[in-house]
Amino acid sequence: MAQIAKKQLLKKYVLGIDGGGTKTLARLVNLHTKQCWQVQGGSSSLTNDLNGAIATIADLCRQVVNQAKQIDDTCDYADISAVFGLAGAGNKKRVQQLEEALAMPFAQLTICSDARTSAYGANGGKAVAVVALGTGSVGMRLNDKGDTYIVGGWGFTVGDEGSGAKLGLAAVKETIAELEDQGIIQSELAQQVSNTIGKDRLAILTWLSAAKPSDFAQFSPLIFSLALACSTAKKLLEQHLAAVEQLIQLTLAKSNLPLVLLGGLASATQPYISAKYQQQLITAKGDALDGACLLAQQ
C-alpha cells in the first residue's frame, strides 16, 4: 500500500494513447498546469502488426515526454500515469510483449481495448453504448457501475464487420469479380479502385501481397460518394449498413442506453442508421483519447 500511495503522490502527468489500425494519437497532460502535448503516428494495432505498434507507441511516448521536458525539465516517466487504449488489446500475450518491449517506468500503466477508452470518452465516463467504426470495428457497453461488455473487435481476418477495412475489402473483391466475370472493369467504383490496385492479375496480386487493413480502408469513402451514381457502390453501402446495425444491436443488447457512433466512418454512416436507433443516438462528449486520459486520471 505504501508503494501505491507513493506512486499516486508522484503522479504529476497523465498520458493517454488511442491506437487503431490507421493512426495513433498520444496526449500528455500536466495535472497541475493543465498544459498538454499531443502527437500523432501510424498504426498501433496489436493484432495487425505488433512490432510496428511497439515502435509507434515508443516513439510517441518519447516525443510527448521530450516536449514536456522543454517546459518542465524534471518531467520523467515516474511522474506519469498512463492508459493505452489499443486495437487488439484483448490479446493478453501481445499486451505483455508490448509492456516488456517498452520497458518505460511509468508510475502506472494500463493497456486496454480502444473500445473501453472510447466508451469512457463518449459520455464522460457515464453509462453508454459505443460503436466504433474506423479501420476496424468494435462495440462497447458501459453501465452505471462501470462494468463493460465488448462486442466484436476480433480483427480484420475474422471480424471487423461494418469497418472501413471490410468495406474497402468488399470494393476490391467486386473489382476482381468484374475483371474475372466480364474480362473488363465496368462499374465506376471498380474503375476507381483499379487505379490503385491495378488493372490486371499481376498488378493486383502484387498490391494484395503487401496490403494491410488500412490499405483496404482507403477505399471506403468511395462507396459513400458513389452510392447514388453507381449500383455496385449502392449495394456495398447497403451491406455495410446491415453489418453496422447488427453490431449496434449486439452492443445495445436489451438496454436503452444512449448510443454513440465514433471513428472515421461514424459521420458518414450515421445519417443512414434506421429510425429505431436514431432515437438513441447522442452526440459524443469526447473520443477514445479523452477516455484514455480520463481513465489515467482515475
What is the tens place of the pLDDT at every residue in 16-69? 999 987 789 999 999 989 999 999 999 898 887 899 999 999 999 999 999 999
Other Cβ atoms closer than 10 A to 176: 17
Tell me the per-residue pLDDT of 156-175, one tens digit each, with 9 for 90 and over: 888 899 999 999 999 999 99
Task: Tell which wins on pLDDT, 106 or 148.
Answer: 106
Kindly give the residue spans of alpha helices, DSSP state H, lying in 11-83: 50-69
Partners of residue 57 on adjacent β-strands: none
- Spatial CB neighbours of 59, under 8 Å, sequence gap ≥ 6: 41
Domain boundaries, given as residue ranges, for the chain: 2-123+285-297, 164-278
Q: What is the pTM of this model?
A: 0.74
Distances (CA, A) of 11 to 38, 69, 75, 80, 201: 19, 15, 10, 5, 57
Model pLDDT, residue 124: 87
- Spatial CB neighbours of 178, under 8 Å, sequence gap ≥ 6: 184, 185, 186, 187, 190
Closest C-alpha among 155, 156, 137, 82 to residue 112: 82
CATH fold label, 164-278: Nucleotidyltransferase; domain 5 (3.30.420)
- Spatial CB neighbours of 206, under 8 Å, sequence gap ≥ 6: 198
2-123+285-297 with 164-278: one CATH topology?
yes
The superfamily in CATH containing domain 2-123+285-297 is ATPase, nucleotide binding domain (3.30.420.40)
Closest C-alpha among 261, 257, 272 to residue 133: 261
Closest C-alpha among 45, 100, 110 to residue 80: 110
Task: Tell which wins on pLDDT, 144 or 246.
Answer: 246
